Chains A and B, each alone.
Chain A
């Protein structure tokens, strides 16, 4: 399943499928990006980050891709599990060294 983040804030996927969550960022000068996961009733939790000198970074079951040309960031979750159900936010570090969050995408995993 795939979302376009800012335009489609919800995404439903079958358990075991791969998920792709997209984020369009606004500032071409932003140089550091973070994906956070926020479960209901909890604060955002760090998933993975990427700096602007990289195009791709992999973690455990997650991969972040950065396309600076079109100012686009994506989070790929492999073999999505019910515990992955949450809201996912991308955050960009601006020229003032502070992070600003995107709209978020709500991911629902169907067992």
Chain B
């Protein structure tokens, strides 16, 4: 199984809502990532988890809160978002946290903040 799954596929939320994005992989990968992608732009790294510990936070606002409950799951908790946070949120995983191998991406969650 070389698949990264993400739920939900689409999410519309108001600026006062709290929601969570979920990501799952069963490849035994020890690194997991969250990226944000705006239309017609490349993915931008947000967070990196290495062996279930947060290793990189790319100066992401605190209204985004990542969580890695176990080696297969990655969540992104959302609270008090702004309309400019509307984007495609991509999860990825990799065999090696040192970046020695490619990342496998999920299909993304299309988030709209109203």
Contacts and interface: CB of A to CB of B under 8 A. Distances in A.
Contacts of B90: 43-44
Contacts of A45: 105
Contact of A43 (B44, B99, B107): B107
Interface string B84-107: 000000101000011110111111
Nearest to A104: B42
A49 to B, nearest CB: 6
B43 A101 contact: yes
Contact of B97 (A34, A41, A43, A97): A97
Contacts of B66: none
Nearest to A45: B105
Q: Range of interface residues on chain B?
A: 20 to 34
Q: Range of interface residues on chain A?
A: 20 to 34
Interface centre among B4, B103, B104, B107 (most CB of A within 10 A): B103
Interface of B: 4, 40-45, 48, 56, 90, 92, 97-100, 102-108
Interface of A: 32, 34, 36, 41-46, 49, 89, 93, 96-104
12 contacts: A42-B108, A43-B4, A43-B92, A44-B105, A89-B43, A96-B56, A97-B98, A97-B99, A98-B45, A100-B45, A101-B43, A104-B42
